[in-house]
């Protein structure tokens, strides 16, 4: 089921600015939320975005998803460590339609997180995937592209 993406100008509750809370393993709403978030990223089977954080659809959870180049992953309670060199690149955000922004981000990240099966993972990512992870992680901290 597609969820409504909260736009910054309609964020009456300021959820996009809140720091998120950790997801509890026994929270029975998480699996359906994850499915709905992936549905929200697609329109007629085509991705309208590459990532989505829970606060963007009204949930104050440390959770984001990525769907990029045929690869999909769920990041629950992530901890991110950025490293490498800064790269400037244009980004877009579903909560800020029609507002491209050039942002400097590290080209590599190391992330510890739980996947959709609650398996603890630690992985390194680089390039565009590292950038997407940093963008979505910012949402969990209440940081938005307009803050850069």
Question: pLDDT tens for residues 78-107?
Answer: 999 988 999 999 999 999 988 999 999 999
Share of the chain above pLDDT 90, in %: 87
Question: Looking at residue 75, what is its pLDDT?
Answer: 98
Going from N- to C-terminal start, the domains of the chain cover 8-147
Nearest CA to 137 out of 98, 96, 100, 105 is that of 105
Residue of 4, 18, 90, 136 marked catalytic: 136
Interval 106-139: pLDDT, tens: 999 999 999 999 999 999 999 999 999 999 999 9
The phi and psi torsions of 77 (rounded to 5 degrees) equal 50, 50
In three state form, how does the secondary structure of 86-105 look? Answer: EEEEEEEECCEEEEEEEEEE
Q: What fold, for 8-147?
A: Peptide Deformylase (3.90.45)
pLDDT for res 12: 79
How does DSSP classify residue 54? G
Judge contact between 81 and 87, C-beta under 8 A: no
Residues contacting residue 66 through CB under 8 Å, at least 6 positions apart: 50, 51, 72, 73, 75, 129, 132, 133, 136
Predicted structure pTM score: 0.95
For the question of residue 72 being annotated catalytic, the response is no
């Amino acid at each position: 089921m597609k969820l409504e993406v909260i736009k910054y100008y309609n964020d009456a509750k300021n959820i996009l600015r809140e720091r998120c809370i950790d997801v509890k393993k026994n929270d029975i709403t998480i699996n359906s939320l994850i499915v709905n978030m992936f549905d929200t990223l697609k329109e007629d089977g085509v991705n309208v975005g590459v990532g989505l954080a829970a606060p963007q659809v009204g949930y104050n959870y440390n959770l984001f998803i990525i769907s990029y180049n045929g690869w999909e992953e769920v990041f629950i309670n992530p901890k991110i460590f950025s490293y490498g060199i800064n790269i400037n690149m244009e980004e877009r955000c579903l909560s800020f339609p029609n507002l491209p922004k050039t942002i400097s981000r590290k080209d590599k990240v190391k992330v510890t997180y739980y996947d959709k099966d609650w398996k603890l993972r630690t992985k390194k990512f680089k390039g565009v995937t590292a950038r997407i992870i940093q963008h979505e992680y910012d949402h969990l901290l209440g940081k938005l592209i307009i803050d850069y």
